[in-house]
């Protein structure tokens, strides 16, 4: 009977969160739910600023202020998931200043976020993290495991991400520092900058410039069209580098004692510049193409770079 009464009290408390003045437009928010048995938190906030911080307590809390046009704050547990959602009227013509919320949640459970013009700040989350926003910026610190952060036109800044990391944007920039594990970076017209110890790195940048300062690489794949690419790395024994560009320059700066088989190709006039050894590029007898093949050390690693009309520099 006591357990039944406790259950009823918890259910009433959770339900009351949806209908108290906490969920009225422009009101202050200070609410909490127990997270025992919860394995995921989903958050939806269309505009404003949301800070999500992981902690070691078995509860999820929300503090802050709702948008002036907010109709309702949904804060409830459904099954093993806690749902947080700021409801706004008439999304097709909605225009608002946004909500400002700080959410604390257990660091070891999954979190997903969706927004439109909402900025997101993330810290100390150690499970799956999935964030999607359209024009909002994303700042992330000390995230672990599976991490996917994407924004269409916002900037993504990350620090000390670890695990399987995927950062993507269309026209925004990506600034990554001190990541490790497996790193994937994607942009269309934004700039990409990364200082990482990840041993597997995959980068695709169409027209923006890319600058990578990498550590011990087992596998690196980089592709672009018109943006320039600068890469500094230490290639491991049996490591693989594959890079391609259409008209952008590709520059690879490797360690002095690198051991690899190099195969560089330019298909329509780009220059192949070798500052690592004395080997020179061979131009085709007919046509503007050229190639540069050489080996260093015992040639255990592999470096393949191709371009259409951009220059390739190896040093």
| Per-residue pLDDT tens digits for 119-136 | 999 999 999 999 999 999
Task: Say how far apart CA 69 and CA 143 lie, in whole Å.
Answer: 32
Q: What is the per-residue pLDDT across 63-107, written as a single tens digit (0 to 9) for each?
A: 999 988 888 899 999 999 999 999 887 654 455 678 999 999 999
- Alpha-carbon separation of residue 160 from 120, 121, 233 (angstroms): 17, 14, 19
Task: Say how far apart CA 153 and CA 196 lie, in whole Å.
Answer: 23
pLDDT at position 6, please? Answer: 42
3-class SS of residue 4: helix
Q: Please list, residue by residue across 244-258, b when 16 or more beta carbons sit within 10 angstroms of its beta carbon and e when fewer do.
A: bbbbbbbbbbbeeeb
What sections of the chain are H helices per DSSP? 2-16
> What's the whole-model pTM score?
0.88
């Amino acid at each position: 009977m006591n357990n039944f009464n406790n259950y009823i009290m918890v259910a009433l408390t959770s339900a009351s969160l949806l209908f108290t003045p906490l969920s009225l437009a422009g009101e202050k928010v200070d609410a909490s739910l127990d997270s025992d048995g919860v394995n995921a938190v989903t958050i939806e906030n269309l505009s404003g600023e949301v800070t999500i911080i992981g902690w070691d307590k078995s509860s999820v809390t929300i503090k802050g202020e709702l948008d002036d046009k907010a109709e309702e704050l949904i804060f409830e547990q459904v099954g093993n998931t806690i749902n947080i959602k700021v409801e706004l009227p008439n999304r097709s013509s909605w225009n608002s200043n946004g909500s400002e919320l700080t959410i604390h949640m257990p660091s070891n459970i999954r979190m997903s976020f969706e927004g439109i013009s909402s900025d997101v700040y993330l810290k100390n989350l150690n499970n799956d993290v999935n964030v999607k926003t359209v024009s909002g910026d994303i700042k992330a610190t000390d995230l672990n495991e599976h991490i996917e952060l994407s924004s269409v036109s916002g900037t993504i800044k990350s620090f000390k991400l670890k695990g399987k990391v995927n950062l993507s944007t269309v026209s925004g920039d990506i600034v990554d520092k001190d990541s490790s594990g497996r790193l994937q970076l994607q942009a269309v017209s934004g700039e990409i900058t990364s200082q990482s110890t990840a041993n597997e790195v995959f980068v695709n940048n169409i027209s923006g410039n890319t600058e990578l300062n990498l550590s011990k690489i087992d596998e690196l794949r980089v592709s672009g069209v018109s943006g320039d690419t600068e890469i500094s790395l230490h290639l491991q024994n049996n490591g693989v580098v594959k890079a391609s560009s259409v008209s952008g320059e590709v520059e690879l700066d490797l360690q002095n004692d690198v051991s690899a088989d190099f195969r560089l190709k330019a298909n329509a006039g780009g220059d192949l510049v070798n500052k690592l050894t004395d080997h020179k590029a061979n131009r085709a007898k007919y046509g503007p193409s050229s190639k540069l093949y050489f080996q260093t050390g015992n040639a255990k690693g592999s470096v393949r770079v191709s371009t259409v009309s951009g220059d390739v520099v190896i040093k």
